[in-house]
Structure 1
Amino acid sequence: MILHNAFYAKKKVLVVDDCEPIRSAVKGMLQKIGFSNIQSASNGAQALQKATEVKWDFILVDFNLGDGKDGFQLFEELKYKDLLAPHCCFFIISAENRRPQVHGLVELQPDDFLLKPFTYKGLEKRFARALAKKRILAKVYQAIDEKEVVEAINHCNDIIKNESKNALVALRMKGELLLQIGEAQRALKLYDNVLEKRSYSWAKLGKAIATFKAGEQNTSEQQLFELLESEETRLEAYDWLGRLNINRQDTATAFEMLIEAGKISPRNMVRQRAIANLAIANNEVDEAVRAYSRILKNSRYSVFDTPENYLNFARSLLDLCTDSNKLEIAKQVTKCTELMGEIERRFYSDSVKAQEAVLKARIAVLKGEMESARDLLDESEKHESPYDSADDRLDKAKAYFATGNLSRSDEIMASLDELVEKDDLISTTLQVLVEKEKEGHEELRERIRQLNNEGLKFYQNAMYPQSVECFVEAYSFMPNNASLALNLVQAITKVGTFLTQGHSPKEMKSICNRCMTIIEQSDLSENNMRRYHSLKPELIQLLSEKEIA
């Protein structure tokens, strides 16, 4: 015990809890163990500030810290900002043992998770266990901290060779590092050797991941499905089944797997973003809306609390409007406007002026205010933004497409690949989304082109009713394109009536009115404007006639 007292007396420990009596009680336990350099914080913000000033040896954080950051978010931010020293032992304390909470914490990999109540003897045992692992892997952690992965693997080899009683922990770390640098076959051999001696869950999971990375998808899938049976490996098995099916381009199954993982650990922001990306790729926009809603709820006070969360949520709400009625559109536009107001209140909004202008342009399109929409897109091009993500560019491409500016939309779509190069879950699912959007974009462009060409051929052959039908269908895909609108109204004047095979006279009158509004709000060529003005008297005459029963 004297040895322990001398050891702990040199260590710095931070206790974070919003309840002063509990801070005092934990401090008393720490003093019994031998600590003398003990500081405390009553909330996440104070703890974050202290972590920027001192490299702590031990940090004990209660999960529930009242208003503001909770223990999960504090740990998340400390890791994200590299504020934890490699030797630091981080402990989360909680009075609750709810599965989603525990799973979320386990994913962040604290050194231990303490359930209240506990004694100083129990705390000392946990410290000893965490310190033993830190001591064994000290050089490994240091190399990882310095981004020297190969060196970290070499240190693992030294432990495996020279310290047989600690070989297992070094083997586990080595396997993870080999997968990290793409050495799937070496990792596979390592896990097979471990499993020959004993059936460890972590080795089974590692083997399944290595098998997938080695290109044996069917075998890996079978192994991962077996791992779903164990609570210890279920979360990561669902995650990797998601990645495996993304690799197969089976986005529907990938989405289902990630949804299951999200149910187990709902606070993982990366997974929720991946879920949203796949939902949009699968045309399940309502699921994307739910995912972004979860992100917004769980990111408040976290390091991931950014304007982008609000922008993406707003974008998904506008995507919902594609096949909605006027009442539903108004509802989503109101929500979208509220989200932009929240950005204004909570963030330095100048940084996202360009993105907000694009959202406002999409809202203007939904309201039929095409001139305003084009002006807002022009405004968006004038703002420089620190954000320029694939999400931003996709949104802008959609806005330009909706206003009928196909060339600018195509240009933006072509620029997307350069933004999705990483091999993480968000980038992988974003690449799927980009490819789906590009594929859909091109298919739609080709369909519109075909219909327009067919309409022109019918028109040239004086088959005017058939010409109108083709132009109406093309116009339905792109109702804000002035050239299509002009072709349609010209064909209508040749028919001389609003009677068509597929639409009522009332519908056709409405379409004709919208076409005229679009044409008059657009910057057409001089020749096309002459065409329109020569047609306009006939159109007005047609619109003034009573509908034929």
Structure 2
Amino acid sequence: MEKHKVNIAVVEDNGMARTNLRNHLLEMDFEGVHCFTHGRELRRDLKRRRYDLVLMDFHLGDNKNGVEVIQDLQKEGLLKYSTCLVFITSDRLPMIIGQIVDIHPDDLVIKPYTIKTLGRTIFNALNINRTLRPVLRNMDEGDFEEALHQLDIIEEKELLPKSRTNLTKLRARLLLKLKRFSEASELYKSVLEQSDKVIWAKWGLIHAQYLAGETDISESMLQDMLGAHLTNDKACEWLARIAIGKKQYSRAEEYMEQIKEGALSLAAAKLKAYLYQIQDKMDEAISLLERRREASRHVREKFAELSLELARCYLSLAESRAMNERDKPLQVARFLIGSAGRRFVDDNLELKRHYMNILAAILEGNLERAHELLQKEEMTDLQEADVSTMSDAIRAWLGVGDEKKAAQILFDCEEKLQHIEDLTEKTMSSMMINKSEESLGARRPRALKFNKEGLSLHGAQRFDEAVDYFYQAYILFPKESAFGLNLLQSMVEARIARHKNIRTLRLYNELGARDLSEGNRQRLQDISVKIEQDRDAYVDADAPPADEFGEVR
């Protein structure tokens, strides 16, 4: 290991501990050591620098804890699988250790530690990370199939004979990513056959069965974990998610009530409040969020997020009332939106606040103000936004009458949902997306509406404009070949190689592989003649090297 090439980020809020940790690392001959007091500083730095190792303290004073920081960074794609992660904590509570273990760190150091213990842990973690680099880098690229293949090679060569447990955990994670749930289940079962007390394997088996749709099996296993000090809260949260999936909201609420309020994670508190809301228990939702907000007053990021969750409740309350009865809830919502920004400033949080102010303007009937705010350049960049912000954006664009923009954001929401790791957040995000879909209406009627608009523009030979309407119809209802053919034809007539995530030649080949009617097959053949006449116009220069379009038939 070339220590001078290893970039290390140390996140520790205590100045003395931070200095000591940095000095220890320098004594170990590491040179690239960068220190941060909280997650926001690290987040800003990760946008311009890559780290090989992150040493993360759990408790970070008046800021989000280390687990929450890592979850946020992973959501934003700023922390890669290939980044080595070692946690440091003085807390030995099972609940805290469980939170840390759930995000799959490479190792954990318990304070107080000796320099020898710290060094041994860091060197071991970095060495394992280096050996697993072919696996981890493929995971970074989203190629989980190749990552599993590389893991097979490492195991066959017995390159990490002392790390069997780590390799088993990694294999199971990859199998889940690849949706090979039965294989993952068998792997977890094989671990439990050797010892039924391996808690990570139990949770893994529950997870695998849940993703496979075997919720009855998961539910049975979780019921056995209720009442136990180490597993009750997590089991209740799991059971609540399963109940929500079955739309048994009152039952889900009962499970969430069994978790002490102070033990609720931020995501779990939001989920519980949302459960109240969809059961028309707005007073209970507001009361819960107010208590959680007050309890988090000293933690700036949580205080800001809970202020906005509370503001969202008051906006919903205003929406349910007649126009002349909205003043009071809107006044409270505006106060909360303002208070979120006074103590804490962050790009994503600013976007949340902007969209909530737009919703408030719409509910006041001030559409001119809402339009004005929506025209700002930053309002269209939702790449790093979470689903709750995107849901607000859908309501905002619908509120000013731009159904096409709202539908595109909904599609992006559904794409983002696939990459959310935290299951509680994923459950709540899914509920929000379902509500947005209800607001926009069923998919096929919406697709038909967009297709009709596209046909009108196409008939007027406004091909560039028609493309986006046909695109909306196609992504809403891709099984309808006519929508795909309309999109392809407009892209060819507009001479464009790519529109958003649709590439002309790839779409042609995808449609060609379908079982088309005779009329549609002839239409595709006519389009292929135009493509062949000007093929270079449809080659996407930004397509990755591995992207093979094949030959136009």
Normalising by the residue count of structure 2, what TM-score does the alignment of the two structures yield? 0.59
Q: Name the structure 2 match of 1:43.
A: 37
* Contact 2:58–2:89, Cα closer than 8 Å, also in 1: yes
Deviates more, 1:88-97 or 1:377-386: 377-386
For the 8 Å contact 1:14–1:58, the answer to whether it is kept is: yes
State the one-letter code of the partner of 2:279.
Answer: N
Aligned to 2:109: 114
CA pair 25-358 structure 1, distance change in 2 beyond 3 A: closer
1:211 — aligned with what? 209
SS of equivalent residue, structure 2 residue 280: coil
Which structure has the larger Rg over C-alpha atoms?
1
Unpaired stretches in structure 1, ≥5 consecutive residues: 1-5, 365-371, 401-407, 443-549
Distance in 1 separating the partners of 2:44 and 2:404 = 45
Name the CA shift for 1:380/1:433 in 2 (closer, same or farther; >3 Å): same
Structure 1 residues 307-346: Cα deviation after superposition (integer angstroms, max 9, x where no partner) = x875543230244468999xx9876444212124346765
When residues 157 and 430 of structure 1 are mapped into structure 2, their CA distance, relative to the original with a 3 A threshold, is same
**In 2, Cα distance between equivalents of 1:374 and 1:174:** 53
1:174 maps to amino acid = R
Counterpart of 1:515?
A: none
Taking a change above 3 Å as real, the CA distance of residues 342 and 255 of structure 1, as seen in their structure-2 partners, is same
Task: Tell me which amino acid in the other structure corresponds to 1:138.
Answer: R
Question: In structure 1, how many angstroms separate the alpha carbons of the residues matched to 2:51 and 2:238?
Answer: 34
Gaps of 5+ in 2: 383-388, 442-553
**Aligned partner of 1:169: which letter?**
N
Equivalent pairs: percent with the same residue? Answer: 23
| Aligned amino acid, residue 202 of structure 2 | K
1:195 counterpart = 2:192: yes
Q: How many Å apart are 1:287 and its aligned residue?
A: 4.2
Could you tell me which amino acid in structure 1 is paired with residue 29 of structure 2? F
Over residues 16-49 of structure 1, what are the superposed CA-to-partner deviations in whole Å (9 max), with x where a residue is unaligned?
44544434433443355x3241534252355455
- 8 Å contact kept, 1:18–1:42: yes
Q: Distance in 2 between matches of 1:207 and 1:47?
A: 34
Contact kept? 2:9, 2:54, Cα under 8 Å: yes
Q: Could you report, residue by residue, the CA deviation over 1:167-225 in whole angstroms, capped at 9, with x for unpaired residues? A: 44322222222222222222223333333333232222222222233333222210122
- Mean alpha-carbon deviation: is it higher for 126-135 or for 293-302? 293-302
Cα distance in 2, alignment partners of residues 151 and 86 from structure 1: 14
Answer whether contact 2:70 2:79 (CA < 8 A) is retained: no
Q: State how 1:111-510 maps to structure 2 within 5 Å.
A: 111-131=106-126, 133-135=128-130, 137-163=132-158, 166-199=163-196, 200-228=198-226, 234=232, 236-257=234-255, 263=261, 266-269=264-267, 271-289=268-286, 294=292, 297=296, 312-320=309-317, 332-342=329-339, 346=345, 355-362=356-363, 364=364, 372=365, 385-386=379-380, 389-394=390-395, 418=411, 421=414, 422-423=417-418, 424=420, 425=423, 426=425, 428-432=427-431
Q: 1:212 to 1:23 in 2, by over 3 A?
A: closer
Q: Which moved more, 1:165-174 or 1:92-101?
A: 92-101
Q: Which residue of 2 aligns with 1:90?
A: 85
Instruction: Output the amino acid matched with 1:195.
Output: L
Residue pair 2:181, 2:212 contacting (<8 A) in 1 also: yes
For 1:417 and 1:88, the matched residues in 2 are separated by 32
* TM-score normalised per structure 1: 0.60
211 and 86 in structure 1: CA distance in 2 versus 1, 3 angstrom threshold: closer
Q: Which amino acid aligns with 1:219?
A: I
Deviations 1:273-329 (A, max 9, x none): 433433321222234335655489589765x998x875543230244468999xx98
Q: Name the CA distance, whole Å, in 1 between partners of 2:49 and 2:440.
A: 52
The 3-state SS of whatever aligns with 1:147 is coil
Q: Tell me the equivalent position of 1:534.
A: none
**What displacement does 1:155 show?**
2.6
Moved more, 259-268 or 34-43: 259-268
Residue from 53, 57, 61 that aligns with 1:58: 53
1:391 partner letter: D
Distance change (3 Å), C-alpha of 1:103 and 1:207:
closer
Question: 1: CA distance between counterparts of 2:439 and 2:79?
Answer: 45
Seen in structure 2, the aligned counterparts of structure 1 residues 202 and 122 have a Cα distance that, compared at 3 Å, is same
Question: C-alpha separation between the residues in 2 aligned to 1:374 and 1:53?
Answer: 39
